[in-house]
Amino acid sequence: MATSGFLTRVNGDANGVVYYDQAAHGVTLGAPVAPAMARQPVFFKILPNVALDAETVTGGAVETILRTIMLKASLYMYQVEATTGQISVALDQSGWGQAPDANNGQTTITGAADLQAALVALGSVGVGPVSLAGLTVVSEGFKLA
């Protein structure tokens, strides 16, 4: 045993983590690796173009947006920038704008436009209410900061 408290590896390599799901689903280097999740997560940035500082309460626009997202996907985590209105979400790869592929019934995400259409269709929501008419959704992958 190594003195650092970790066991010394006697076989194997890190490719199982680095190339997570690559052969089956075409995940490439630079893609998020989430070995604790059942499938590759999907990330969206939602830009309502309105301040949501008064809309983070029960019945607010943020709750309405998140509930709408969860109609077609499992929500792993989210972050709300109350003053800019930006909402970043990490989702299970299921639901929004997807079509089946040839890999064990898994699906490929193409859902930014599909999700945007559903959120814009909500109209004015929340306690304010606030209009989601100018909302945009982009899928840029996972980026810190």
DSSP code for 9: P
Q: What are phi and psi of 108, to 5 degrees?
A: -115, 130
Whether pTM exceeds 0.75: no
Domain ranges of the chain: 35-138
Tens of pLDDT, residue by residue over 57-108, are 999 999 999 999 999 888 989 999 878 899 999 887 667 766 555 444 444 4
Query: Angle 80-118-133 (CA atoms, 0-180°, nearest 5)?
Result: 70
Report yes or no: 22 and 28 within 8 Å, Cβ to Cβ: yes
